[in-house]
Amino acid sequence: MDITIRNEELTVRIAAKGAELQSIRSKDGTEYLWQGDPAYWTSHAPNIFPYVARLTEGKYWLNGRTYGFGNHGLVRYEELAVEEQTDSRVVLRLDSNEGTKEKYPFDFTYRMIYSLKKNVLEMETIVENRGEERMYFAVGGHPGFNVPMTADTSFEDYRIEFPKEAHPYRIVLADSGAVTPAQERYEMENNCIPLHHDLFDHDAIVLVNAAREATICSDLTGRRVTVSYPDFRYVGFWHKPCTDAPYVCIEPWTSLPSREGIIEDLSLQGDLIALDGGKEWKTVWSVRID
């Protein structure tokens, strides 16, 4: 089932499965969200919870037991219920169940709230720990955006632009996608990353200490997509490696994937969010279409 919200500027479609965005269209009919061409990548914008990217061997430790789930956690594979809906806002909810507890043994409620405010799509993630035990998790986004945005421009005409000077470091990933101990200073050109397809031949570019906002834009068109993620420490940029894929993902992450060769203990992985029983955690990030 898909849900549609709209206002005078944007029309947005969301799937109940994974609360995943399916479409972001402006009032002139332009589609900005990647449409899942199976030749490259079948998803559109997975929501990440309770773990970012890959677990080593697909497993983790907790309280002396091993558990596991797929890439980017478990929400993306679950059907969420519509809890509230208006013309321009929808609240989607997932409660833990027997199936989720086999993979992630916590009582939780996960909500994804989409709200339209003029030309901005706000996305609020709320995680509630309904148990008594401290709960460990990460959240993130994985939206892909069409690049080029117009028929008369090419991928290489675009750049990722940051609003102010920053001095980010790149997290060096192993061939498996796991995190290595290495970090490298990531040099930009006038606070920009010029786009070219071989940029992603070694998988995602994952940065720390970057600005908390990134814009895909080109001097040849006035169209801009800006993702703002004020509460997220890391940001990744990706398209399918070694291809000419016509999209770019901007991925805000609260934590990193597992370290290379280590099956992580969630209670000891220092960058995870630790939420005490009965407490709630929330964050808001957004996509602005200009």
pLDDT digits (tens, 9 = 90+) for 138-160: 999 999 999 999 999 999 999 99
Kindly report the CATH number assigned to the domain that includes residue 67: 2.70.98.10
Q: Rounded to 5 degrees, what angle do the CA atoms 234, 249, 84 make? A: 85
**Conformation bin of residue 219: beta by default, left when phi > 0, alpha when psi is -120 to 50:** alpha
**DSSP letter, residue 80:** P
101: pLDDT strictly greater than 90:
yes
Q: What is the pLDDT of residue 248?
A: 98
pLDDT tens, 223-257? 999 999 999 999 999 999 999 999 999 999 999 99
Helix (H), strand (E) at residue 100: helix 98-103
Residue-wise pLDDT for 263-280, tens only, equals 999 999 999 999 999 999
Q: Which domain holds residue 233?
A: 2-289
Q: Which two tokens stand for residue 23?
A: 């479409």
| pTM (global) more than 0.85 | yes
What pLDDT does 99 receive?
A: 94
Q: Is it the case that residue 176 has pLDDT exceeding 90? A: no
Domains identified in the chain, total number? 1
